[in-house]
Amino acid sequence: MTAATIELSGRSGGPVAVPGEALEDLAGRVEGRLLGPDDPGWDDAVRIWNGLAATAPALVLQPASAADVAAAVGFARAHGLLLGVKGGGHNIAGTAIAEGGLTLDLSGLCQLTVDPEARLAHVGPGCRLADVDRATQAHGLATPLGFISKVGVAGLTLGGGLGYLTRRFGWTADNLVEAEVVCADGQVRTASRERHPDLFWALRGGGGNLGVVTRFTFQLHPVGPQVVGGLIAWPFERAEEVMAAYRALTAAAPRELATWLILLNAPPAPFVPAAWHGRRLCTFAVCHSGDPGDAGRDLARSGPSATRSSTCSAPSPTPRSSPTWTTPSPTATTTTGGPSSWPGWRTACWPACGSCSPTAPSPRPSWACST
């Protein structure tokens, strides 16, 4: 990319004029691509999951290494630029994109290696959850991740990371062993419990603004090769009864059984009876990651048994049902809400959830989860 002086958003909120020579110098010092709005690949580089929060940067750098990231961080610091970092682009607020500034698109940093002997996975910030699932399950191993296979590993981990294996093995951040981080001073540091422990503590759930992570190392656990999982659904009219059963189940269930309550409009999917398409349902999403022989006993307590609209629970290969689902990306007019964890969920919450869900404008599900 070549340009004359270009105006970018500064950290102080005002515009910053960056000479073309400075941009050419940056482009010459990195292995990755420096993109402008007219360059091939721009649309993919700036696309995020929540179209309602979409904005546009002035420039995008697609780094090929931690050294490239360090060069970009140093460039932004030297010129006082607004800097954004995009991993999977799934953050609902759209914070990956620095509006009018410089955005780092880390999608190319997708290196992934598994050490089955040490039970560790070394994961680049451009990897999606499905990438990690596939690589680790080749060895009968897994780490707690999220729910949706297209979510980026980086944002999930730095935000804490809740998923089907959390009840058994903790949050994603609990299973982070080490992180390679480019800090604001441009230095590349390795953070762990032994090295830079304060930085490591902050990274595990602290979100952004602590640095740009260029490698995650996760602890792995034996899981699979099959888990028992699926959906159990009831008519929405029974929501209060189902919610009461859900509260009792989650309080007594073994750690191998994860259950989420989902209020949704039944999709026209093959596993949903045609008579229920488009109707409001109260469902459990379940995942039993322990001995498949114990799943039937543990699931027998999964709520009211009469008049279920649909039951779809069966052994599945671990990457399909634990920890992530595959869903289409929303359009530019779609937004969504993530899971909510309510420990000690009070009965008083049920009428509010039940009354709001049927009138929600989005056809996508409303989640309430308790682990």
Quote the Cα angle for 146-204-250, to 5°.
45
At 332 the pLDDT is 43
At 171 the pLDDT is 96
44-99 confidence digits (pLDDT tens): 999 998 888 889 999 999 999 999 999 999 999 999 999 999 999 888 888 899 99
Phi and psi torsions of 237, nearest 5°: -60, -20
279-324 confidence digits (pLDDT tens): 999 998 899 999 988 888 887 766 565 445 445 544 555 544 334 4
Instruction: Indicate the angle between helix axes 239-252 and 349-356, nearest 10 degrees.
Output: 130
At 54 the pLDDT is 85
Model confidence, pTM: 0.86
CATH number for domain 112-222, candidates 3.30.2130.30, 3.30.465.10, 3.40.50.300, 3.90.950.20 = 3.30.465.10
Q: Give the mean pLDDT per block of 10 residues along the chain (371 residues).
A: 82 94 96 96 94 92 98 97 94 90 97 98 97 96 93 94 94 98 96 97 87 97 89 89 88 91 87 87 91 84 54 51 43 47 55 56 52 47
At 366 the pLDDT is 54
Domain boundaries, the chain: 6-108, 112-222, 226-369
At 355 the pLDDT is 57
Q: Does domain 6-108 have CATH number 3.30.43.10?
A: yes
CA distance linking residue 124 with residue 60, whole number of Å: 19
CA distance linking residue 9 with residue 103, whole number of Å: 11
